[in-house]
Amino acid sequence: MHTNESSENYLETILILSQRLPVVRSVDIATELDFKKSSVSVAMKKLRESGHIIVSPEGYITLTESGKEIADCIYERHTLLSSWLTRLGVDPKTAVEDACRIEHVISSESFEAIKKHIK
């Protein structure tokens, strides 16, 4: 499950959008992340080639099993870390921003320890 931070962010965004929208398209991702459509197209090509997404002929984007596994992992880290930081007294906006950075670099061992401590 080796991916870079950018890929993880795209996969997480696809997961979040798929929970809100009936279908996810590149334009939805570009709007959500405030990125250029051309940048998103390049990223979607890389994610498709790496087997993390499927793009239908209509342009609908779906996570593959490997893509969903990565997205679920990152999303769990993000939600747990941001809520934990907020409970510690960190401003919610700062907590979300910090969680977004931490979620990509924290080891599985450290994350599991934090998760165990919190629960």
- Domains of the chain and any CATH numbers: 5-64 (1.10.10.10), 70-118 (1.10.60.10)
Condensed to tens digits (0 to 9), the pLDDT of residues 73-109 reads 999 999 999 999 999 999 999 999 999 999 999 999 9
Q: What secondary structure letter does DSSP report for 106?
A: S
Residues 75, 96: Cα–Cα separation, whole Å? 12
- Contact call for residues 52 and 6 (beta carbons, < 8 A): no
pLDDT in tens, 48-79: 999 999 999 999 999 999 999 999 999 999 99
Please give the Cα distance from 110 to 112 (Å, whole number).
5
Q: What is the pTM of this model?
A: 0.90
Cα–Cα–Cα angle for 85, 77, 26, nearest 5°? 115
